[in-house]
């Protein structure tokens, strides 16, 4: 442990000198987010659409990574098993928060909002684009339940593959999308000597108010 502590103390990464000014920001935070996401994609960051999703029920916070998949009417979309812990937690308390972090370009986006089930057409459209293996695994996995071994899932997938042989795999009713209506955005650009540029968007009656925050 002492050796690990010393290794952690030696972790010192410096950021760039890039300026991120308020005039660089789009007035629409969703547009600003898509601009940054596009930069992350063009930089070829591994899974730039990976986001931390945090939920809380009965004062018990939980977080995990999920894959953001689309923006529909300014709402962030991701997909999951509707009987998974995260889905049940969002249905019980729709107030969530999330983070995107792109280390290679020294950027982070934090958000807060309200989550609810997405329209069935959104879920159906995305499910139809998944590889067949991913479609079958959605059917086979009772997400987050305790299993004895991996074969429990792989055997189910084999059975389902035979069941749906020579036909399209339909989307199961227990699997689909969630949409997040974001009401707070925060954009962070790492800079040298920890003089990071940081801006937040908060909603008001006219739209969005943009303010610079201390690093």
Helix, strand, coil percent content, the chain, rounded in steps of 5:
35, 35, 30
- Quickly tell me which residue has 């593959």 as its tokens: 161
Neighbours of 77 (CB within 10 A): 19
- pLDDT value of residue 1: 58
pLDDT value at 64 more than 90: yes
pLDDT of res. 3? 86
- Catalytic annotation present for 194: yes
Does pLDDT of 17 surpass 80? no
Of the residues 62, 64, 191, 194, which is catalytic?
A: 194
Phi, psi of 16 (to 5 degrees): -90, 180
Close Cβ partners of 35 (under 8 Å, ≥ 6 residues apart): 26
Q: Look at residue 16 in the predicted model and tell me its pLDDT.
A: 75
Looking at every residue in the chain, the average pLDDT score rounds to 93
pLDDT digits 0-9 by tens, 159-194: 999 999 999 999 999 999 999 999 999 999 998 888
> Are 177 and 126 within 8 A, CB to CB?
yes
Residue 201 has pLDDT above 90, yes or no: yes
pLDDT > 90 in the chain, percent: 79
User: 142 versus 47: which is more confidently predicted?
Assistant: 47
Find, among 178, 131, 183, 180, the residue nearest to 157 by Cα.
Answer: 131
Instruction: Determine the Cα–Cα distance for residues 215 and 201; give it in Å rounded to an integer.
Output: 15
Q: Which structural domains are found in the chain, ordered by start? A: 19-131+173-212 (2.30.110.10)
CA atoms of 109 and 189, how far apart (whole Å): 9
Would you tell me how many other CB atoms lie within 10 Å of the CB of residue 178?
A: 25
Report how far residue 50's alpha carbon sits from residue 72's, in angstroms, rounded to the nearest whole number: 18
Cα separation, 161 vs 157, in Å, equals 6
Q: Which of 54, 152, 136 is nearest to 100 (CA)?
A: 54
Q: Which two tokens stand for residue 89?
A: 């937690």
Write down the pLDDT at residue 19. Answer: 79
Task: Express as a percent the part of the chain with pLDDT over 70.
Answer: 98
Task: Summarize pLDDT for 94-121 with one digit per residue, the tens.
Answer: 999 999 999 999 999 999 999 999 999 9
156-161 long-range Cβ contacts below 8 angstroms, 24+ apart: 157/133, 160/136, 161/132, 161/136
Model pLDDT for residues 133-142, shown as the tens digit of each residue: 999 999 998 8
pLDDT score for 122: 98
Mean pLDDT of 127-150: 91
């Amino acid at each position: 442990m002492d050796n690990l502590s010393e290794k952690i103390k030696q972790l010192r990464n410096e950021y760039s000198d890039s300026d991120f000014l308020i005039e660089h920001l789009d007035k629409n935070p969703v547009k600003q987010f898509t601009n940054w996401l596009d930069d992350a994609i063009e930089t070829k960051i591994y899974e730039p659409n990976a986001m931390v999703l945090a939920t809380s029920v009965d004062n018990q916070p939980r977080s995990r990574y999920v894959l953001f998949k689309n923006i529909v009417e300014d709402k962030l979309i991701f997909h999951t098993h509707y009987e998974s812990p995260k889905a049940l937690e969002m249905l019980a308390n729709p107030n969530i928060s999330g983070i995107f972090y792109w280390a290679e370009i020294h950027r982070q986006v934090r958000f807060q909002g309200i989550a609810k089930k997405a329209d069935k057409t959104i879920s159906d459209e995305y499910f139809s684009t998944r590889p067949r293996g991913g479609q079958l695994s959605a059917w086979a996995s009772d997400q987050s339940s305790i299993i004895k071994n991996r074969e429990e899932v792989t055997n189910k997938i084999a059975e389902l593959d035979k069941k749906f042989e020579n036909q399209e795999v339909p989307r199961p009713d227990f699997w689909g999308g969630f949409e997040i209506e974001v009401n707070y955005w925060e954009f962070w650009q790492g800079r040298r000597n920890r003089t990071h540029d940081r801006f937040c968007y908060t909603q008001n009656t006219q739209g969005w108010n943009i303010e610079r925050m201390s690093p």
